[in-house]
Structure 1
Amino acid sequence: MLRYCYYFLSFLTFVCVYFIFIQESIDNEKTSTILPFQRQKIDSSCILANVIKRKENNNPDRITLVLHASSDRIDEEIVEQIENWNAPVSLAIAFYEKNTIETIGCVSSLLRDLKNQSLKVDEFLSVHFLIENANIDCNRLALKAAEPCFQSNLPKNENLTAFEISTKLIKYPINKARNLGLQYSSTKFILVADLGHYFSQNFEKKMRTLANSVLEKSPKTALVYRIFETETNATQPKTKTNLKNLMESNEAFEFHHTFNDHSIQNLSEWFETPESSDSTSIQFFKDYNSAKWEPQFVSLKNIPLFDTGFRYPRRDNTVLRWEMCRAGYKFAIINDVFAFHKGLKSYTEMNFLNRVRRRLIKTTEEAFGRFSERMDLQYPKTRNKCPLITAKSNI
């Protein structure tokens, strides 16, 4: 009799444990959880690396597209960008506003859904979180959110004044985010871009082939691609022929053509060069002789980091090109391949950004001073080989 009681109690224990396990599994399915990741505390920032990690990880010779975003910019459109790139992507997301814990949960939920919905996202996307909140304990942070968690839960700009929006832009730790995405990229070659940048057909394949041959011999070379902007409803250009047709119908232009920061000479010759489906070549080498020039490029991963003293939108991106010039990099303009951004900046947007830049004058002057001192210490031999850049420069 005692033996039967023992067996019965053992069975009951097993049943209880089993149902507890099942209930926990169900509960976990109702929350957006992300697999274990690397945690690091730097000053007041939490770094959570590889909160999502790409599956395709066996070819170090590919080019990683390094992206950055504030948490409220993440939505389903990133799927299109990843599928267009069709190669590894390292995305750094910055959280730096109120309700950080709730926002982290919502973004984690959305990322999990996108990963499940798209084979390319699952294959290629790695995500890292930059959390600018001194009150958050990195070691106790759980990346989950009670379901349902919709995009509408994320903070937006609709109810903010123009001044509040500009303050939000200035606070965005843009170069910390770029550096995070860069540092945790896992391939030999990188391309740092923004959300909404799309690329011509076979871009990564062509540039990867060229990078392997050129950068092995000349590691301090930036392979510069031309960038354009198209009307929002224009057909996406896959080839130079598509792009030329759009430009002739005034549906495409050189990127930020009103500023000329991205303009590169010999465009007609570039269009006339026969296009290959699987390779590309160097058109010419361009001197870095204008402090306003902001070339977009593919390079080795070991480029200098972005200077975090510069804030968006005042030369936060261009500053890397200044340092690359001082570090002795050459800028090679590449045939065939190109990038484009859908949509043109309106005059209202440009005027707003100019007002934001004016708020950054003092901050930028201080950043210029520190940057100039650092350049002369690190690269004394190139002081007279690059454009003179001072805090008073009209940039």
Structure 2
Amino acid sequence: MSLTAQQWLQQIHTLDLPERVRIMNVCGGHERSITMAGLRTALPSNIELIPGPGCPVCVCPEEDVYDAIQLALNENIILVAFGDMLRVPVNAPKGDIRSLEQARAAGADIRPIASPVEAVKIATEHTERTVVFFAAGFETTTAPVAGMLAAGVPDNMQLLLSARLTWPAVAMLLDSEQAGFDALVAPGHVATIMGPEEWQFVVDKHKLPTAVAGFSPESLLAAIYSTLRQHIEGRPFLDNCYPEVVKPGGNTSARKILDEVMEVTDANWRGVGVIPDSGFQLKGEYAAFDARRHFMLCQDAHRKRAGEMPPGCECARVVLGKIYPNACRLYGSACTPRNPIGPCMVSDEGACRIWWSGGLREPAGHESVNKVHS
């Protein structure tokens, strides 16, 4: 019989833990569950749970958001995007339009959607205009987008794709001189699509305990317990703590469609830089739906701070697990959900937004800035 969250906590508290164990939880959904359930305060104080790079809105290149804004303002199109993307700010001079939300207020036809099905419906209802679907996301979101294209879309639809794979960012961190964590809780929804085997490299190459988790406190605590046991015993392995959904090999149909429609390429992550083999692009016959080709989009070399975070924003360090959200100097003062400066305060999967929603409203003192790596 499965253990309750309270029982898992009791099991964890019985462990003979070292002075400090740092566990990275990759997924923004995991971070939301951890924060809202108060798991950090319930766990022993020597266990640190570090938010990782699993927020697609946070890492979406600034220049992709800028391109979407310019298309919506300057072309006779309907632009559709997942709701969180509308509030992501770009680096623009004061007084200029800095988000899709502001472009919409200025008269651009921009519509928030929740699924690719809605994008197809809008394109079908407005055949006289081009509909550009600004699709940002990780594997879980990208697979339905690929399915949409494979099933066939109206001729008036174009795709501004900004899709990323999750594991290469973790690989980059582990290949760096300071990984900053001792164990990994891997994202259950990504493993559902791609298979848990994608995370085997963490064990094989880096000898770190790894567990795939779902989004309930029970599944997360089971994964935390597993990685702690592995760490104590010095016996790292890949544990699947979400077996009711995550199966060996993942979702073969979704992976087949992804392989048919898209190919993996080097990709830029906002504030981080280019990570090899970390993005998707359309391939073959589907390249005809690429909005970058259709509208001949090219980056403006004269844009200052293009691709970077806004001045003073430390979202990139938060995403990479270098600092906690409230260690950013803007957190809770200049940057709030009502007035987000950086993308981590926009999305429900952004660590800054999650911590704020969880009740932590004040920035940390200067002495806490480097807590993650102290």
Which TM-score bucket, shorter chain as reference? under 0.3
Higher relative contact order (CA 8 A, sep 6+): 2
TM-score (norm 2): 0.22
For normalisation by structure 1, the TM-score amounts to 0.21
